């Protein structure tokens, strides 16, 4: 086993770096820039049962040390993803991929997961119960432990693939929701999704986003994400995938010390399309600097100090 190798829900990864859903398309767009097979894995664009055109524009805005988005889960629907996107991806990516799934009812989550779970290239189902940019779905399931558990149980019943539940930071107690998902059969947890925020245009005196509010991502959210990864990974016995403001190899190592088994990179892909490649290439030298023999050996290292 190499220095960068980790295992996520029993599936080996060459390294823990995973581009986050919504920032890497269906992969082949980035394959035009570099060999994406060097990635640990990647999470493709959030998929719903029916096609979605997303929210009205404007739906992207800048903010200090980050960005706001209210794209609204624009995607072609699960059947076109299976019939068109995955075959095209298979031509340039030869590892298991993470399928990000969203829904507007428990039944919809289960239906999409059942279909994607049959696809050989799908390694994990990342069940997004945390999107703040849609009405009547997404985050409404992720803010209540019983609703989160109901989605998790429904998905667990229809697939044998590992199920990762993606959690919202827009809650009072993320640990309670994490435990509810674990008890309902989740194999792992992804956190955090974006924080709810907004901007106002001073000239028009109206919200900048047509959706009024959107999700804040980027470096500004990293300390919040790190804190939540630390809290959740100490409270559950299933692996955690950490994300939120990750920009460099040092951020990846910090996330893993907080308890993450793997680390997703989101907004930075939109700033620098080579971000994940650069992070992977940078990891060995940063590991040498901090005398880290293997990445797997440091998972949860920060809270292990608190237990001695």
> Which candidate in 131, 181, 248, 276 is catalytic?
131
Neighbours of 274 (CB within 10 A): 13
Neighbours of 56 (CB within 10 A): 11
For residue 138, give both structure tokens.
Answer: 């997404």
> Active-site residue 131, yes or no?
yes
Report the alpha-carbon distance of residue 213 to residue 198 in Å, rounded.
5
CA distances from 218 to 23, 43, 61 (A): 12, 17, 12
For residue 169, give both structure tokens.
Answer: 């930071």
For residue 196, give both structure tokens.
Answer: 């709810």
Cis peptide preceding 192, ω within 30 of 0: yes
CB 261 within 8 A of CB 241: yes
For residue 308, give both structure tokens.
Answer: 């001695």
CB 185 within 8 A of CB 216: no
Q: Which residue has the tokens 């539940």?
A: 165
CB 68 within 8 A of CB 200: no
Q: Are strands 163-166 and 188-191 parallel, antiparallel or unpaired?
A: parallel
Q: Single out the residue of 185, 188, 166 nearest to residue 10, CA to CA.
A: 188
Report the alpha-carbon distance of residue 190 to residue 201 in Å, rounded.
33
In 159-205, DSSP assigns E strands to 163-166, 188-191, 195-197, 200-201
Q: Which residue has the tokens 């919202």?
A: 168
List the catalytic residues: 131
């Amino acid at each position: 086993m190499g220095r960068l190798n980790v295992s996520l829900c029993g599936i080996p990864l060459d390294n823990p770096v995973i581009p986050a859903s919504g920032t890497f398309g269906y992969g082949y767009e980035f394959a035009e820039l570099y060999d994406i097979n060097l990635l640990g894995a990647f999470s493709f664009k959030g998929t719903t049962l029916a096609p979605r055109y997303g929210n009205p524009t404007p739906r992207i805005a800048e903010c200090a040390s980050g960005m706001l988005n209210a794209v609204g889960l624009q995607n072609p629907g699960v059947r076109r993803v299976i019939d068109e996107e995955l075959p095209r991806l298979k031509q340039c990516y030869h590892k298991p991929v993470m399928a990000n799934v969203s829904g507007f009812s428990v039944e919809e989550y289960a239906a999409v997961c059942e279909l994607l779970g049959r696809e050989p290239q799908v390694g994990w189902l990342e069940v997004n119960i945390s999107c703040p940019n849609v009405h009547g779905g997404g985050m409404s399931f992720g803010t209540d432990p019983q609703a989160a558990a109901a989605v998790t149980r429904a998905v667990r019943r229809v697939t044998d693939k590992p199920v990762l539940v993606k959690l919202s930071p827009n809650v009072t107690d993320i640990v309670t929701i994490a435990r509810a998902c674990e008890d309902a059969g989740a194999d792992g947890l992804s956190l955090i999704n974006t924080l709810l925020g907004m901007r106002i245009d001073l000239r028009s005196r109206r919200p900048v986003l047509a959706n009024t509010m959107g999700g804040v991502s980027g470096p500004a959210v990293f300390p919040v994400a790190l804190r939540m990864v630390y809290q959740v990974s100490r409270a559950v016995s299933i692996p955690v995938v950490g994300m939120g403001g990750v920009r460099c190899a040092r951020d990846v190592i910090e996330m893993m010390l907080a308890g993450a088994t793997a680390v997703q990179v989101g907004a930075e892909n939109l700033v620098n399309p080579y971000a994940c490649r650069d992070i992977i290439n940078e990891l060995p030298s940063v590991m040498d600097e901090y005398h880290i023999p293997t990445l797997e050996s440091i998972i949860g290292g920060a809270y292990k100090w608190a237990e001695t």
